[in-house]
Structures are given as structure tokens and as C-alpha cells.
Structure 1
């Protein structure tokens, strides 16, 4: 295995652990309540936790400062909007965890976050 492939796998693993902690361990009641409102400070803070965690992962793999800043700002924006979309959709449908639609929305949300990490790693590999 080449060093480049090892670095990509390390970065992907770091982003996976970051995502797990930011989404499932570090959310506060403020971050979870009222998420269908677009201008929601809790969602902004939640996206910020993700951006900080990604910054740490990117620093570990030796990312340049310009790329690091670009990626964490982009992730903040994308994460904010993915979560808003899921919350808006789920609230409009009045889904609860007892309904399949709730889990489809959650799964789609998580898939979009994972695709975000693939895009981030792709940018990390391709950045001059």
C-alpha cells in the first residue's frame, strides 16, 4: 500500500470518528431543539463542532492552512444545510422515530455527510 493511500485512509477514519462524536456525543439540547428553523443558533453551533473536529483531523494529516480554512468553512456551510434540510423535511412530515420515514430521512442525511467527507478527502488529495 502506498503512503498516499495510507494517508487517505487515515484521514477518512479520523473524519468518521469525528462525525460519530460530533453527531452522537457532543450535541446539546440547544443543538437538537427547533432545528427546522433556518436561522437556528444550535444548528450553527453543531456545524461548528463538526468544523472544529474536521480541522483537528486535517491538522493531524498535515493539511496546509489555506486548504484547511477552505475545507472547514465549506464543511460548516454544507453540514448546516444538510441538517436543516433533514429537520425541515422530517418536521413537515411530522415523523417520529417510530416511523420508517424518520429513518429514511436520517439515513439520507448521514449519506450526504459521508459524501461530504469523500469530497473533502478528494479536495485534500487534489489540492496543489
Structure 2
């Protein structure tokens, strides 16, 4: 795997921008309410926004379409379940932004999403270049 560091960093930056918009600017009230139940349409839509953003991101760097679609489906499932874990933690422990445990759960949630991006970049460098 010999990928120019600039290409890896560009992809990481694009994924960070995508994540910022999907997690902080594009969430709707339906995506934010009732997240403690597993089969939650809002969480599915939210994970879908992330998947669509990743499709756009990987196509921008020239990744093959089939690879990109497989990666997006995998990301959808991982993102859906990471967010469910956080919602369950917050519901079960009655966490809100005024409790330190809420921020620990949020930190773990965000770290897991970042590890997902590292895995996606590894897959791109290994299988798509």
C-alpha cells in the first residue's frame, strides 16, 4: 500500500467535513427524537445522510462505484449501531448535557465514528487504488 500521504489526508479532511455537516447541521427533529428504540426511522435516515455523504466523498477521490456503494452500506450499519449504543446509554442512565457521563458517551460515540473513517480510508487505500 503506497498511497501519497496527501491523498490520505485529503480523504480524511473530506470525511471530517462530511461528518460535521451530517452530525451537526443536517439532523432533523425526527432524527433526534426517540433514538432509544432500536428500529428508529430517524436514526436510519441520519445514518443514510452519512452514507450519502460518504458516497459523494469517495466518488470525489475517484473510488470505484461498486466499492463506494459497499463501503456506504457498511458505514450505514456501523453508524446506525454506534448511535443506538449512545442513545441507549443516555436513556438508561438518564444522561443529559449537564452530566459528565453524557459527554463521555458522546466522546466514545465520536471516537468510534472516527475509527470507522480510519477503517474506510484503509479499505480505500487497500482495495480501491
Q: TM-score range by the shorter chain?
A: over 0.9
- 1:71-101 CA deviation, whole Å, 9 max, x = no partner? 1000000000000000011110001100000
- TM-score by length of structure 1 reads 0.96
User: Structure 2: any 5+ residue segments left out of the alignment?
Assistant: none
Instruction: Give the aligned partner of residue 67 of structure 1.
Output: 67
Instruction: Give the aligned partner of residue 93 of structure 1.
Output: 93
State the alpha-carbon separation in 2 of the partners of residues 3 and 115 from structure 1.
19
Displacement of 1:55 after TM fit?
0.6
Displacement of 1:3 after TM fit?
6.3
Matched residue pairs, number? 127
- TM-score by length of structure 2 reads 0.95
- 1:9-56 CA deviation, whole Å, 9 max, x = no partner? 111000000000000000000000000100000000000000000111
State the alpha-carbon separation in 2 of the partners of residues 70 and 120 from structure 1.
11
User: Structure 1: any 5+ residue segments left out of the alignment?
Assistant: none
State the alpha-carbon separation in 2 of the partners of residues 63 and 52 from structure 1.
14
Displacement of 1:4 after TM fit?
2.2
Displacement of 1:6 after TM fit?
1.2
Over 4 Å off, 4+ runs: none
State the alpha-carbon separation in 2 of the partners of residues 3 and 124 from structure 1.
10
Matched, 1:30 2:30: yes
